[in-house]
Amino acid sequence: MAPPITLTIAGSDCSSGAGIQADLKTFSHHRCHGLTALTCVVAETPEKVESIHPVPPTVLQEQVEILLNTYPVDAIKTGILYSKAHLVAIVEILSNSPTIPLVVDPVMVATSGSTLVNKNAIETYRERLLPLATLITPNMPEASVILDRPIETKDDLEPAAKELARLYNTSVLLKGGHLPGNDDRLDILWHEGKAHHFTAPKIDIACTHGTGCTLSAAITAHLAKGANMVDAVTTSVDWVHSAILNSFKWHSPSGNTIHCLNHLHSASSQG
């Protein structure tokens, strides 16, 4: 049988830890055929973002249109959408495909702390893209930007997830990886009026570059295969935790330690 088809609309990460490269590795592990529409080319590593080079919005639109006209796409995810023009280009197309599950990872701030979108893109996220989503997967800084208020503690997470779900009539997975201290990490899914808490021990590594991309791609793959939302998120959160726990580690020429999610370990251990 032919595998389910997943589409990622995202940026290219030359270090292959995030963006479309991470999405494709994730789709392949979950036995989906991954399609890609490139939004920008990012010169980055887990340590920093050097530069971002956007693809012209018309070229982005052409990529998505030809893919949706050619393939029976089962689920879509978005990653970095650099500007208002890129968001509008995508919204114009996705508005015509309301039955395809859409996972919006509102990529605004890199793990390194670098800002990844233009300021004029934020309102377009709020007004046009988030209302189309089946699920949105913000981290704490991104939720703070969307809601325009601080999301800083464990007690902030559930009310924020609930508010986002109400505002945009969607499910919300609010990721708590930025919580301070050494307590267990906490992610909260708000789905159909109920909160689901996911906890795991915090892993003490220098960098978790690409975890958000990888998690949203895994959820997209499970939705493409027909999983319900709670099962898709539960399985994906566990899988990403395993990939972090078994990260690759190298020493850069400058002597810094570089980590990369170990998709290979996850693939070999989970089939």
Point out the residues that are catalytic.
175, 208, 210-213
CA 215 to chain centre: 6
- How many CB atoms are located within 10 Å of the residue 179 CB? 19
With CA atoms as reference, report the closest residue to 235 among 183, 193, 271, 181: 271
> Residue 132 carries which DSSP code?
G
The answer to whether 131 and 95 are in contact (CB under 8 A) is no
The answer to whether 137 and 171 are in contact (CB under 8 A) is no
Rounded Cα distance between 22 and 263, Å, is 9
Rounded Cα distance between 206 and 244, Å, is 11
With CA atoms as reference, report the closest residue to 79 among 146, 175, 150, 12: 12
Give the DSSP H/E element, type plus range, for residue 43: strand 33-44
Helix (H, G, I), strand (E, B) or coil at 65: helix
* The amino acid at 198: F
- How many CB atoms are located within 10 Å of the residue 259 CB? 19
Rounded Cα distance between 223 and 232, Å, is 6
